[in-house]
Structure 1
Amino acid sequence: MPENHETTAPQWGFFQRHGLLFVGTSPVVANAIGSLFNVLYNRNQVFPLFTDAQRMRFDDCVLWFNLLIYPIAMLCFVIPLLWLRPIHRDLLAGKPVDVTTHQRAQRYVVNLPWWFLLVASAGWLVCIPVFIISLYVLPDPLSGVIVAHLVTSFLIASMIAITHSFFAVELAIQHALFPVFFRRDMPAGETMPASVPGIVPLNITLRGVLWTVSSVVSPVISLVLILLLPDDANLAPRFAVGVGIVAIAFGLATSWMLGKLVVTPVQQLRRAATQVAKGDLNAHIHLLCADEFGHLINSFNSMVEGLRHRELLQQTFGRHVGEEAARQIISQGDQLTGREQVITVMFVDVRNFTHYSSSHSPSEVVTALNVFFREAVERVEQHGGMVNKFLGDGFMAIFGVGSNAEGHAQAAVDSALSLRACVDQSTDLFKNAGWDDLQIGVGINTGPAVVGSIGSPKRQEYTAIGDTVNVAARVESLTKAVGQCVLITESTRAALGDCVVCKPLPPQLVKGKGTPLVVFAVE
């Protein structure tokens, strides 16, 4: 069973509320002008070639044609609008519409310009056999010149009227019906006009051809015929001026409509692309089109949505592995690769963690650690570092990876000093978290290490591996033994400037090293 969907009716504008009437009347002006052009052309250029009986028969045909054929053509054009009326009314009121019916209505709406083109073409072109046959049955001879110019007059008038009306109907549908029939909050509203199955949109090339035929070819042919026909009454110059004025007016009108149908999407795409280029991923094009621009707009919106999703994924991913690590991993892809480079590694450990954990609940421990880690991560990243992993009551940070490859030893020491100052100055913050005497130890070492994604194809970790990392961890463990907060190795000291005050300590034996390690306390 198709689903029904309750919606709240939005505030519609005048054109949306009266969209069907607007669409139904949109071709009237162009057809009226086309008919006037045809009448004037025949009166000034063809009537001089008629006999009296032919003139009377022609006038009778015009009368009966307007009384019979035009109303039938108008009724045929209005039939789909009458079928759409109850659906349009329900959509305006926010009432539920059957999904299948809604999708069928969307297809009707998109294809309405072609239905009008079919009906209008039939209405105009049937003039040719009707008028010629009605004149042919008269006893007066009908010359080939008259037939040729009658055919030409109807063809030119029909091309002018139909093509301009087609653009008018298409523009009216886009502005008055698309917003109603393609609401996103409706079940079938997720389908964009360009994605409706069974539609035949007019592409840009055919639009150019139609514009050329209606605004250039038809008036030029008319002017040429005016010059070629006999003009005993000397009416050709005035009629030629009239044709020129009509051609200019229609050309300007068509250019304006084409501007709405072609230039507007291009401008909106340009503005949205500029927004995205500036980093604003909230750009979205709301214009509804059924032609190539519709597909282009849908693709653009999907692309921006994908970029937003990728940005969100990178931000979420970055909260787990660090922003810089996330960028490195995404740029690297799923390859298991690592690159050896000189980096600075910093290990940070919270003192007396075991004692604190034994007297507090796990949730209290986690709350206190999160307060500390929030402050610590901010200071590490402020100095260009990357918190690589959390180690229960501490963490490991890497400096000198990615875009922050210069001065990484100095950045690591500055980060450690900033973190130490934060701990000293934020006693009330940690006290509120239940940790009155929080203290830390920091060990820093500089040297070569392999940095990159390491692991199996199914489970990988972005990290640094090497003796440099191991030594940094050992130096951090020395902070308790020597009673210092921040310790650095000799290699880190050599990479620092003279502005950092370091106190040399006696060489220390560490696990995994056969010779004592030279370390410095940072004042």
Structure 2
Amino acid sequence: MLKRHSSDPSTSLDHDDVDGTTARWSFFQRYGLVVVGLSPLIANAIGSVFNIAYNHVQVEPLLSTAQMTRFRECWQWFNLLVYPMAVVCFVTPLIWLRPVHNALIAGDAVDANVLQKAQKRIVNLPWWFLLVAATGWLSCIPVFPAALYAVPEPLSGDVVAHLITSFLTASLIAVTHSFFAVELAIQKFLFPVFFQQHNPAAVPGGVPLNITARGVLWIFSAVVSPVVSLVLILLLPDAAHRAPWFAIAVGVVAILFGLISSVMLSKLVATPIHELNLASMRVASGDLTARVDLLRADDFGMLIERFNNMVQGLREREQLQQTFGRHVGEEAARQIMSHGDRLSGREESVSVMFVDVRNFTRFSSHHSPEQVVTALNVFFREAVEIVEAHGGMVNKFLGDGFMALFGIGKESDHHAQRAVETAKTMLQWVAQSRPLFEQAGWPDLQIGVGINTGTAVVGSIGSPKRQEYTAIGDTVNVAARVESLTKDLGCSLIVTQCTADQLSPEVTLRELPPQRVKGKTDPLQVFAVDY
């Protein structure tokens, strides 16, 4: 069973798994069908009070004794027959849903087709109530005038006008507010139970009320109905001579219902907007764990799902980049993720550093592979941090060494200076970390570093099926040759003339004899750097 977390306490689930089948739900979720069945009572009761008061003030004074008797008999029989029938019609779908609801509460398996049918009924339940309630209320309009016309006495047209006003206003108040109440109750107490693994907005056959239609319904409930009532009260004859007083009462009722409608509308519209806004602010600040856990069947349902999918995609992309970055380097990962397939080789001015661990062959021949890897990882862990702290990028590991690039990405200036500062910091750290290497089994670990500066082709190079983000060219080859000179010349850090030309005067250089290297016809001028 899918566990959901929600910022709304009324929709949160308190799961206590026992053998993976039992879950503890809130009281209102356990009895959600009862709550939904009772949710329209208040609005209909208020609509009935309004109807009774209106008829008492405006209709009854216009009736004769015989008509008054027929009027009372009519509403008694109507309440005895029609209202119970409306209640039975409304609760029939709830009774059908009860076995499915109980099974879901108990954690039992429910047939997929049955569950989908139940979900469809849940989503469309407000419309079913709207149909039942509207039929019950609006049927009063033809029934009561017809009953009064059956009395063998003349019936004033004002009575019919007042009756239509009374029933129409009461029905608009009761039906629209009940629709909102049923919708809220379903969302809070039935959606968490019936939609544990599905989105209510994606139910086949579901017809939720969209935002535009909801606004129109609210306008009819809170604006059109009271205004029309006030206009009719003032235009129709005042049988009881209390029109001003009654108009004020209707105005107060209209204001109260407008406020109630606004509160319910804010729950249905403002709440998801508020939750989405908070979640988007968290995402903007870098929190990719943000999630909106509101279950909605309307327009917000798909919007919330797409938002959650978007954040999940960002989270997966971030995880991919972090994992990817551990293999190719964070800067290389950013370059590849930013450019994708459009990334290709391009010429750039870079400084290339090759680092090699001395006497690796001798050490590995006398130690187990686990000891060798442990000792290398001690060095590589700190070396990578030092390179990246100086704006460089460890491009590839070469067994007992690595190649690093400076001048790639955001920090592309002064790359020769940063490369040399990186090498000096690394050599100083190795000299100061003898205890760490001794603990790893390699107390005399030493390194050699060679640096060259120039243009190189940088980018994703290879076949369409297998590419590598790297740098190639003469600059890279010379840097590798310079690193190999560190063993022959007994220097830990050697740079070429091209690198030396870009260093600040504070860097102490010691000129070495020109060296012949593979691939070069002329001797190469190199310098040792003190650290």
Check conservation: 1:336, 1:454, Cα contact below 8 A: no
- In the alignment, the residues of structure 2 paired with residue 252 and residue 416 of structure 1 have an alpha-carbon distance, to the nearest angstrom, of 71
TM-score normalised according to structure 2 size: 0.93
- In the alignment, the residues of structure 2 paired with residue 118 and residue 231 of structure 1 have an alpha-carbon distance, to the nearest angstrom, of 33
1:462-501 pair list within 5 angstroms: 462-501=469-508
- In the alignment, the residues of structure 2 paired with residue 10 and residue 409 of structure 1 have an alpha-carbon distance, to the nearest angstrom, of 63
Query: SS state of the match for residue 340, structure 1?
Result: strand
- In the alignment, the residues of structure 2 paired with residue 147 and residue 169 of structure 1 have an alpha-carbon distance, to the nearest angstrom, of 32
Check conservation: 2:158, 2:236, Cα contact below 8 A: no
Question: Aligned residue for 1:396?
Answer: 403
Question: Aligned residue for 2:87?
Answer: 74
- In the alignment, the residues of structure 2 paired with residue 492 and residue 38 of structure 1 have an alpha-carbon distance, to the nearest angstrom, of 94
Question: Aligned residue for 1:509?
Answer: 516
Query: SS state of the match for residue 424, structure 1?
Result: helix
Check conservation: 1:9, 1:91, Cα contact below 8 A: no
Query: CA offset at residue 144 of structure 1?
Result: 4.1
User: What amino acid does structure 2 have at the position aligned with 1:210?
Assistant: L
- In the alignment, the residues of structure 1 paired with residue 47 and residue 157 of structure 2 have an alpha-carbon distance, to the nearest angstrom, of 24
Check conservation: 2:158, 2:237, Cα contact below 8 A: no
- In the alignment, the residues of structure 2 paired with residue 510 and residue 402 of structure 1 have an alpha-carbon distance, to the nearest angstrom, of 30
Structure 2 residue 176 is the aligned partner of structure 1 residue 163: yes
| Bigger mean CA deviation after superposition, 368-377 or 458-467 | 368-377
Question: Aligned residue for 1:355?
Answer: 362
Check conservation: 1:6, 1:95, Cα contact below 8 A: no
Question: Aligned residue for 2:140?
Answer: 127
Query: CA offset at residue 302 of structure 1?
Result: 0.4
Question: Aligned residue for 1:186?
Answer: none
- In the alignment, the residues of structure 2 paired with residue 7 and residue 24 of structure 1 have an alpha-carbon distance, to the nearest angstrom, of 31
- In the alignment, the residues of structure 1 paired with residue 318 and residue 40 of structure 2 have an alpha-carbon distance, to the nearest angstrom, of 47
Question: Aligned residue for 2:419?
Answer: 412
User: What amino acid does structure 1 have at the position aligned with 2:302?
Assistant: H
Query: CA offset at residue 304 of structure 1?
Result: 0.2
- In the alignment, the residues of structure 1 paired with residue 368 and residue 115 of structure 2 have an alpha-carbon distance, to the nearest angstrom, of 58
- In the alignment, the residues of structure 2 paired with residue 313 and residue 60 of structure 1 have an alpha-carbon distance, to the nearest angstrom, of 76
Check conservation: 1:219, 1:247, Cα contact below 8 A: yes
Structure 2 residue 80 is the aligned partner of structure 1 residue 33: no
Structure 2 residue 394 is the aligned partner of structure 1 residue 387: yes
- In the alignment, the residues of structure 1 paired with residue 378 and residue 115 of structure 2 have an alpha-carbon distance, to the nearest angstrom, of 54
Query: CA offset at residue 381 of structure 1?
Result: 0.8
Query: SS state of the match for residue 451, structure 1?
Result: strand
- In the alignment, the residues of structure 1 paired with residue 38 and residue 74 of structure 2 have an alpha-carbon distance, to the nearest angstrom, of 25
Question: Aligned residue for 1:200?
Answer: 207
Query: CA offset at residue 449 of structure 1?
Result: 1.2
Query: SS state of the match for residue 208, structure 2?
Result: coil
Question: Aligned residue for 2:385?
Answer: 378
Question: Aligned residue for 1:44?
Answer: 57
User: What amino acid does structure 2 have at the position aligned with 1:231?
Assistant: D
Question: Aligned residue for 2:235?
Answer: 228
TM-score normalised according to structure 1 size: 0.94
Query: CA offset at residue 311 of structure 1?
Result: 0.6
Structure 2 residue 460 is the aligned partner of structure 1 residue 453: yes
Query: CA offset at residue 282 of structure 1?
Result: 0.7
Mind listing any 5+ residue stretches in structure 1 that lack a counterpart?
A: 184-188
Check conservation: 1:335, 1:453, Cα contact below 8 A: no
- In the alignment, the residues of structure 2 paired with residue 141 and residue 303 of structure 1 have an alpha-carbon distance, to the nearest angstrom, of 70
1:251-330 pair list within 5 angstroms: 251-330=258-337
Structure 2 residue 70 is the aligned partner of structure 1 residue 20: no
Query: SS state of the match for residue 341, structure 2?
Result: coil
Query: SS state of the match for residue 515, structure 1?
Result: coil
Check conservation: 2:461, 2:469, Cα contact below 8 A: yes
Once the two structures are superposed, residues 358-387 of structure 1 have per-residue CA deviations (whole angstroms, 9 ceiling, x without a partner) of 223334333332232212111111111101
Tell me the C-alpha RMSD between the 2 structures. Answer: 1.8
Query: SS state of the match for residue 458, structure 1?
Result: coil
- In the alignment, the residues of structure 2 paired with residue 404 and residue 366 of structure 1 have an alpha-carbon distance, to the nearest angstrom, of 31
Check conservation: 1:41, 1:153, Cα contact below 8 A: yes
Query: SS state of the match for residue 137, structure 2?
Result: helix
- In the alignment, the residues of structure 2 paired with residue 107 and residue 416 of structure 1 have an alpha-carbon distance, to the nearest angstrom, of 68
| Bigger mean CA deviation after superposition, 408-417 or 142-151 | 142-151
Query: SS state of the match for residue 452, structure 2?
Result: strand
- In the alignment, the residues of structure 1 paired with residue 303 and residue 490 of structure 2 have an alpha-carbon distance, to the nearest angstrom, of 66
